[in-house]
């Protein structure tokens, strides 16, 4: 069944549509990938996911976001300058390059007790951001598209990206973990909340930071 779904997707022009909140596929725990696709088909799927992620633009894309309930995701962040965001803010948020990689059946565990809270958005919740507290450091495990084991520690924004995309594979949206009083449009964040931390937003919107 997965192979048929992927073949139908590959027949569509790129970039592929991104599923939006309200679709059940985003709320179901995706099934593990167990090698159902040929190497050629898997490579084509990954290439399409990468192009769709770049076109959005985004720094991660999970298979459920293109309608496939399987535990595969792609992530990448060149950490290039964000429009309207100062270099000091990028440093405070731990935004550093995350090379392109494929996550197959990924899991993560937190490393240490440190938590970081920042505004976060999602390609499947178009136009909105909210403050989410996440582990500052994690240990990522899983495999890549070749079956090679992944076992590494990540921190800062790369750790946040991996947590966000892995959550998608368990039917979890960032809003489930967010301070909902912080919910803001992209325009409001760009106009009001570009400070290095969301402390001002917490004070003015009335929510607590961890």
Angle between helices 2-10 and 39-55 (to 10 degrees): 50
Which residue reads 């088909």 in tokens?
41
- Per the structure block, which two tokens stand in for 2? 């997965």
Please indicate if the annotation marks 164 as binding a ligand: yes
Please indicate if the annotation marks 122 as binding a ligand: yes
Q: How far apart are CA 140 and CA 161, in angstroms?
A: 11
Q: How far apart are CA 207 and CA 204, in angstroms?
A: 8
- Per the structure block, which two tokens stand in for 89? 């803010």
| Residue among 76, 120, 145, 165 flagged as catalytic | 165
Strand-strand pairing, 128-135 and 72-77: unpaired
Nearest Cα residue to 1 out of 48, 43, 46, 34: 34
Instruction: Let me know if 165 is a catalytic residue.
Output: yes
CB neighbour list of residue 198: distance below 8 Å, 6 or more residues apart: 117, 118, 119, 131, 182, 209
Feature table: binding site:
122, 164, 168
Binding-site members for Fe cation are 122, 164, 168
- What amino acid positions are annotated as catalytic residues? 165
């Amino acid at each position: 069944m997965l192979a048929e779904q992927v073949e139908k997707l590959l027949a569509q022009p790129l970039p592929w549509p991104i599923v939006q909140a309200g679709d059940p596929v985003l709320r179901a725990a995706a099934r593990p990938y167990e090698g159902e696709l040929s190497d050629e088909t898997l490579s084509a799927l990954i290439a399409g996911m990468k192009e769709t992620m770049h076109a959005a633009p985004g720094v991660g894309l999970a298979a459920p976001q293109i309608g496939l309930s399987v535990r595969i995701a792609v992530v990448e962040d060149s950490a290039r300058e964000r429009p309207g965001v100062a270099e000091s803010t990028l440093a405070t948020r731990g935004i550093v390059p995350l090379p392109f990689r494929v996550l197959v059946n990924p899991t993560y565990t937190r490393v240490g007790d440190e938590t970081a809270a920042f505004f976060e958005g999602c390609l499947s919740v178009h136009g909105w951001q909210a403050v989410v507290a996440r582990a500052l450091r994690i240990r990522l495990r899983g495999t890549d598209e070749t079956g090679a084991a992944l076992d590494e520690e990540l921190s800062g924004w790369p750790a946040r990206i991996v947590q966000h995309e892995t959550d998608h594979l368990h039917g979890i949206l960032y809003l489930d973990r967010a301070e909902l009083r912080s919910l803001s449009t992209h325009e409001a964040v760009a106009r009001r909340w570009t400070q290095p931390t969301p402390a001002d937003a917490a004070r003015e919107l009335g929510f607590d930071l961890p």
